[in-house]
Amino acid sequence: MTLAAADVGAAAAGAAGWGELTDAVSRCTACAELVASRTRVVPGTLPDRRADVLLVGEAPGAQEDEAGVPFVGRSGVLLDRLLAEAGLSRDRVAVANVLKCRPPANRKPRRLEVAHCRPWLARQLDLADPQVVVALGGTAAEWFFGPSARIAALRESEQHYAGRRVVVTYHPSAAIRFGPNGSPLAALRTDLAEAARVVAGTRPGPE
């Protein structure tokens, strides 16, 4: 059974676990243009063990759309390397995007699409219950802090959303675009190290 825009809020709120939510997201048809162009829905991933970190990106790219898994392209390779450098274990990292379906030609998500998709990520935040969220890029920053959110300004101080620490930083695609000597890569490295410090400072005992 498909889920229309009017059904998303209740379906997300009613999902008892990540698997149930993933199943519901996969049946979502709220955004007609994205439904027509997507290959696969990309709900996100939750590690088997408890998530220390939830990474939030913008939307699936071409490779994610093919694979049904977020961050499997060049951005994902870079992210994996930087997570390892920061000492963040990949098997304690959950990943989700603001949009679960690829916009045609990788265009920016539209405001209505973000609004339609919002309950899915909101519920993922509850279900993953991470020590820290890392918002990767402007679209993720706006999801948490509103349309006037600016990455550079938000990086200047500690940010929180619904009582949870949120580290705002650049999307790995910006780090790739600006190259190895660009400021986005340096910022991403610094900010993932900060996320690792938050985890180290708040991690409870083994589950």
Q: Which C-beta is closer to ligand SF4: that of 120 or that of 132?
A: 120
Instruction: Say which residues have a Cβ less than 8 Å from residue 119's Cβ, sequence separation at least 6.
Output: 8, 9, 11, 12, 13
Which residue number, 31 or 168, has a Cβ lying nearer to ligand SF4? Answer: 31
CB 47 within 8 A of CB 93: yes
As measured in angstroms, the least distance from the Cβ of 35 to ligand SF4 is: 5
Nearer to ligand SF4 by Cβ, of 30 and 196: the residue is 30
Bridge partners (DSSP) listed for residue 5: none
Q: Nearest approach, Cβ of 42 to ligand SF4 (angstroms)?
A: 9
C-beta closer to ligand SF4: residue 10 or 153 = 10
Least CB distance from residue 105 to ligand SF4, whole Å?
15
Nearest distance from residue 138's CB to ligand SF4, in Å? 17
Select 5 or 193, whichever has its Cβ closest to ligand SF4: 5
Question: Closest distance between ligand SF4 and the C-beta of residue 115, in Å?
Answer: 9
Tell which residue, 97, 106, 88, 87, has the closest CA to residue 44. 97
Query: Cα(80)–Cα(115) distance, rounded to whole angstroms?
Result: 29
DSSP-derived secondary structure letter, 98: S
Residue carrying structure tokens 């509103």 = 146
The phi and psi torsions of 55 (rounded to 5 degrees) equal -90, 130
* Interacting residue ranges for ligand SF4, rule: CB under 6 A: 8, 25, 28-31, 34-35, 41, 99-101, 113, 116-117, 120
Spatial CA neighbour of 95 closest among 130, 139, 145, 143: 130
